[in-house]
A and B are shown apart, each in its own frame.
Chain A
């Protein structure tokens, strides 16, 4: 990947196209957690890659490209939110497009939606850490690099974010007896 990035930094668009392909999912999904609207997330993601292409010539390989790209994504998405003061629209099309009659699928989608909404209600600093952890699977050290804070701070922000999400989901009934269900499942498997 480093070689591709170097080529892209020299203006090789073919190489940059491969970089975009590699990171499109990460950038788009991160943007989606902020924009809460697929069209806006796509616009933000495109802007991210245009910025990345422009700034690539000055990218020094002393830091991780992955954290660099996430940093640009988070900053661009936050900037978009501030400029547009986006009223958080709920992403409902997923549920609507789920196959009718498949109840379990709908329950899963409802939970996904509830989690997204709970995350969107977090403060900016908690949301940044939770999104990068839960959707992008970044390590605490990587998140700390992206957000330019200490690893200990990230650990604590992720915990606080999780506690708030959990509290919200328990209060609205989205989470209910996870542990008990898990125990019951394990018991069934043992019986089998």
Chain B
């Protein structure tokens, strides 16, 4: 039989109680054998949680690796593929006029730049950013593989239009690992980094019927609402919203969904 004061004792052991609560815990301990046993056991368990020495030369190995080019081509491909899928989806939405209002919010500088390379986009500050949205990989200088190029070139009839529209949209997408800029995208300046950022256009009714109805938007700008979703939850919620969630690279533990409200 467990005493119902175990939680109090556990927090007492961790030094997480106020003076008053700690006194109450001590008083209880003086009269409860079960809690005294529990305290002795968790003390023994803690005592067995010892730390290991860091392997010799660890710091040097890390510093050497910093100078190596990144070795994650497979992941880069997957993330890019995810983004390409998102671009194509955005293009289809753009073609149907769903993003008309969103485009109006964005800086037209992006469209000019998008023509220069399908691997670049323009952020609020105007600099080129890697389409993987991975700030870490952007600097490694790896060229896209033939497979990647093929994907980008596989829809020649669609991509020019997609670029014209989606590049504008993507221009407002903050790169992973960087603060979302204010600027024309109107995103919050103090937003925390996110593993991935997604766009979704839907009507108010669709939003209310979606899993996002359970969430409060982290911020909003015009008719775009930003929802922060834990990465683990995103795998379920994103799938329900038909977003490409298969390859989230978990770093920060959360994703951002920018929802454009397209009507009632």
Q: A residues near B, CB below 8 A?
A: 13, 16-17, 20-21, 24-25, 28-29, 32, 38, 42, 45-46, 49-51, 53-55, 57-58, 60, 62-63, 71-72, 75-76, 78-79, 108, 111-112, 114-115, 133-135, 139-140, 148, 155-156, 158-159, 162-163, 165-166, 169-170, 175, 178-179, 181-182
Contacts and interface: CB of A to CB of B under 8 A. Distances in A.
Contact of B252 (A60, A71, A156): A71
Interface string B46-68: 10111111110011011101100
B230 A135 contact: no
Interface residues of B, number: 51
Interface of B: 2, 6-7, 10-11, 14, 16, 33, 36-46, 48-55, 58-59, 61-63, 65-66, 135-136, 139, 177-179, 190, 192-193, 230-231, 249-254
Contacts of A17: 59, 63
B133 to A, nearest CB: 12
Contact of A135 (B14, B33, B51): B51
Contact of B62 (A49, A133, A175): A49
A110 to B, nearest CB: 9
Contacts of A108: 48
A148 B230 contact: yes
Contacts of B52: 28-29, 32, 38
Given A17-B63, A55-B251, 19 more contacts: A21-B59, A24-B59, A45-B62, A54-B177, A55-B135, A58-B193, A75-B252, A112-B50, A135-B51, A139-B16, A140-B14, A148-B254, A155-B16, A159-B6, A159-B10, A159-B11, A162-B45, A166-B41, A178-B40
Contact of B54 (A28, A57, A156): A28
A-B pairs with lowest CB-CB distance, top 5: A54-B136, A178-B40, A179-B40, A134-B49, A115-B48
A156 B55 CA distance: 34
A163 B16 contact: no
B179 A60 contact: yes
Nearest to A29: B51
Given A20-B59, A29-B52, A134-B46, A75 B253 contact: yes
Contacts of B58: 20, 24, 28, 42, 45-46
